[in-house]
Amino acid sequence: MMTDQYAVIGNPIGHTKSPLIHGLFAEATQQDMSYTAIEGPLEPQDAFAATVRKFIAAGGKGMNVTAPFKLKAFAMADERSERADLAGAANALSFRDGRIIAENFDGVGLLRDIEVNLNLPMAGKRVLVLGAGGAVRGALLPFLAARPAELVVANRDIAKVRALVDQVSTSGPLAACSYANLEAMGQFDLVVNATSASLTGELPPVPPSVFSLTGAAYELAYGKRLTPFLRLARNAGVLRVADGVGMLVEQAAEAFAWWRGVRPQTHAVIDRLTVALD
């Protein structure tokens, strides 16, 4: 019997931890599968789709998709989940019966890391999310399902974030806000930085007043130690700070379970990849 083939595709892809994560999952759950990294070509326009179809033709069963191909993966799918539809992006593909099925596990992986691993239930809490990109789009439905008292999405471009909020059909305590108005919004129990600022060592324009001393700050970027955002939170007196390594592993576990029908344990893998926040 042939070993089932899986891969992650992105560009650049040299930094990816996905082959290590899925290799550990496969070993722990005794799955006969291989998992590789593919650097997808940026040009010409149809090169990404051609690369995916070549992988399928060679027996590929599924793919994780990372930057900058999540929109292209979504566009080429034959079927899309509700989460992928809202995000307008796919971070996982499954190839079944000649069809390409798109999913987005970023939001559900993020929620699981926050609620299960960090023991920070969102129910009844005030939650602030910074940014309005693909990660935020994928997180809104899972976050609302966790029943926060209020979910505020803040962004420089208020029109962009209002349009995003309007797209969410699920009724819930969801509001759009500009960074300029955050000062008047009071304290939040959880502040999530989903902007790309930390990737370049920058700080999103958020006032320290949004942090609650008994709350938490979560950074989607991982392996960056104490980012400017997390340092701001620490300086504001927040004791509970976390980066996105848990989200990385949990969304991988969701994809693995979707493909293989068994959900791997994640704690040992998270511990292995965790970098101290100092």
Q: What is the pLDDT of residues 85-106, one digit of tens each?
A: 988 899 999 999 999 999 999 9
Binding site feature residues for shikimate: 16-18, 66, 91, 106, 222, 251
Average pLDDT (205-212) is 96
Distance CA 260, CA 4 (A): 10
- Structural domains in the chain plus CATH codes: 4-104+246-273 (3.40.50.10860), 107-243 (3.40.50.720)
Task: Say what the pLDDT of residue 138 is.
Answer: 86
Q: Which amino acids are annotated as binding site for NADP(+), given as ranges?
A: 82, 131-135, 220, 244
Q: What is the pLDDT of residue 200?
A: 83
pLDDT tens across 178-200, in order? 999 999 999 999 999 999 888 78
Residue 84 confidence (pLDDT): 92
Distance CA 66, CA 73 (A): 9
Residue 148 contacts residue 169 (beta carbons within 8 Å): no
Exposure string (b/e) for 182-206, b if CB count within 10 Å is 16 or more?
beebeebbbbbbbbebbeeeeebeb
- pTM for the whole structure: 0.92
Task: Identify the pLDDT of residue 135.
Answer: 83
Structure tokens at 176: 């759009």
pLDDT band at 276 (very low <50, low <70, confident <90, very high): confident
Contact 69, 43 (CB under 8 A): no
More confident residue, 94 or 141: 94
Tally of CA atoms within 13 A in the half-sphere of 66 that contains its CB: 19
Using pLDDT thresholds of 50, 70 and 90, give the confidence band for residue 170.
low
70 is catalytic: yes
Would you give the distance in Å from CA 271 to the centre of its chain? Answer: 18
Angle at the Cα of 113 from the Cα atoms of 270 and 252, rounded to 5 degrees: 60
- pLDDT tens digits, one per residue of 28-87: 999 999 999 999 999 999 999 999 999 999 999 999 999 889 999 999 999 999 889 988
Of 54, 70, 72, 224, the active-site residue reads: 70
Quick one: tokens of 7?
């891969």
